[in-house]
Amino acid sequence: MKNIDILIIGAGISGTVLAERYASLGKKVLIIEKRDHIAGNCYDYIDENGILVSKYGAHLFHTNEESVWHYVQKFSEWYPWEHKVVARVDDKTVPIPVNITTVNTLFGENITSEEDMQSWLENNRKPFEKPANGEEAVLNRVGEKLYEKMFKHYTKKQWDKFPAELDASVLERIPVRNNYDDRYFSDKYQALPKGGYTQLFDRILANNNIEVLLNTDYFDVMNEYSGFEKLFYTGPVDRFFGFKHSMDEKLEYRSINFVSETFEQEYFQENSVVNYPGMEVDFTRIIEYKHFGNQKSEKTTVVKEFTVDEGEPYYPVPNPRNQKIYDKYKEEADKLTHVYFVGRLANYKYFNMDQAFKNALDLFASLEEKDSENYKAVI
């Protein structure tokens, strides 16, 4: 067996950043990844139409974190990409998040100023002092009309639950704009890596101190590895503990079926992402990858996303049942020394990419500060 200082499970953002940081200290790092590729859910590749597509759904990078922006720029050039999303509602096409244009188009209004939009929302919203569930949270923000057209059925498709069956927290912070801003995100930095995410991860991992073992499930080989200083685990937390607190029921996740089609035409739709918030179709959105970076091809690749119960775990389902199960695992995880649970699956929490970068960078900084203090105390 080789000499390993740091063992990392998972080659997504969390595992890759920790590997790079420890390798930069001269530590020997092994990453074990069960899939046949690096980059976790950010993985992208050139498909049969010559178009860069993301295997696990479109990934738009956006952040206000200077440290994260600084870090990712070291490994790739980035081009500015201000993401926009539109929705098809009642045969109309409207911007998402809801803004002045959305309300004017859907309800035949003639709002022209932030003040007018504010009063439209005030007149339509149904105030709840303390919304008890997702439905009350949305009604409190935007009222019945927008709730019915934009949120009720989309939520059902996304979570297989109506908003009334979800915690208020899930829908409390839905973005609504009082102006014409039609950007999906409002963060300071919004960009995509030139050459794609897989190339970015490849470059982060380009260090002789890092070895990546693909196609290997950690739990099949765990007994072969020992004697390392630290283990970073980025897989599902309940799997690590053999599902022992799950009372025959696993932590719930929502998954996505990605259904890809090729069209022999230049473009299929006018925008990279078109959402379908209504019940007239089963899918939640259609992505046309060619739009990202204005790629050229005679054909176009289009992917429909169907949110489903079974499959790869993507979105943790935030409700009291799952929180209770997760808390038990967290208690056990906290007792372990030299084993760290990092990233979205290990923390049973949805992270945007920048949060995943930041968590990994912060964890490294906190451990190394601590370790160097220990080291100083020993010498």
CA torsion, ordered 258, 261, 265, 271, to nearest 10 deg: -10
| Residue with smaller CB distance to ligand FAD, 37 or 126 | 37
| Residue with smaller CB distance to ligand FAD, 29 or 139 | 29
Distance, in Å, from the CA atom of 90 to the CA atom of 129, rounded to the nearest integer, reads: 32
Q: Which of 34, 126, 153, 245 binds ligand FAD (CB under 6 A)?
A: 34
- Total residues contacting ligand FAD by CB under 6 A comes to 34
By the rule CB under 6 A, 314 interacts with ligand FAD:
yes
* 48-69 burial: b if 16+ Cβ within 10 Å, else e: ebebbbbbeebbbbbbebeebb
The interface region with ligand FAD, picked from 203-211, 274-282, 322-330, 340-348 by CB under 6 A, is 340-348
Q: Rounded to the nearest whole angstrom, what is the least distance from the CB of residue 299 to ligand FAD in the complex?
A: 24
| Residue with smaller CB distance to ligand FAD, 203 or 299 | 203
By the rule CB under 6 A, 125 interacts with ligand FAD:
no
The interface region with ligand FAD, picked from 28-36, 131-139, 322-330, 366-374 by CB under 6 A, is 28-36
Tell me if 314 sits within 8 A of 41, measured CB to CB: yes
| Residue with smaller CB distance to ligand FAD, 150 or 356 | 356
Q: Which of 144, 133, 92 is nearest to 278 (CA)?
A: 92
Q: Measured in Å, how far apart are the chain's first and last C-alpha atoms?
A: 30
Count helices and strands (H / E) in the chain: 14, 17
By the rule CB under 6 A, 18 interacts with ligand FAD:
no
Q: Scanning residues 245 to 264, which ones bind ligand FAD (CB under 6 A)?
A: 256
By the rule CB under 6 A, 235 interacts with ligand FAD:
yes
By the rule CB under 6 A, 10 interacts with ligand FAD:
yes
By the rule CB under 6 A, 356 interacts with ligand FAD:
yes
**H/E segment holding residue 231:** strand 230-233
Q: Rounded to the nearest whole angstrom, what is the least distance from the CB of residue 216 to ligand FAD in the complex?
A: 6
Q: At what angle do helices 66-73 and 353-378 cross, to 10 degrees?
A: 90
Q: Which of 13, 52, 171, 205 binds ligand FAD (CB under 6 A)?
A: 13
By the rule CB under 6 A, 9 interacts with ligand FAD:
yes
The interface region with ligand FAD, picked from 9-17, 101-109, 294-302, 317-325 by CB under 6 A, is 9-17
Question: Encoding tokens for residue 295?
Answer: 């790629």
By the rule CB under 6 A, 317 interacts with ligand FAD:
no
Q: Which of 123, 125, 119 is nearest to 137 (CA)?
A: 125
Tell me if 268 sits within 8 A of 44, measured CB to CB: no
| Residue with smaller CB distance to ligand FAD, 131 or 196 | 196
Q: Rounded to the nearest whole angstrom, what is the least distance from the CB of residue 360 to ligand FAD in the complex?
A: 8
Q: Which of 19, 42, 72, 192 binds ligand FAD (CB under 6 A)?
A: 42
Distance, in Å, from the CA atom of 260 to the CA atom of 83, rounded to the nearest integer, reads: 21
**Residue 230: CB partners within 8 Å, gap ≥ 6?**
5, 6, 7, 338, 339, 340, 367
Question: Encoding tokens for residue 169?
Answer: 């927290």
By the rule CB under 6 A, 343 interacts with ligand FAD:
yes
Question: Encoding tokens for residue 198?
Answer: 């897989």
By the rule CB under 6 A, 56 interacts with ligand FAD:
yes
By the rule CB under 6 A, 117 interacts with ligand FAD:
no
Tell me if 222 sits within 8 A of 40, measured CB to CB: no
Q: Which residues bind ligand FAD (CB under 6 A)?
A: 9-15, 32-35, 40-42, 56-60, 217-219, 234-235, 256, 314, 343-345, 351-354, 356
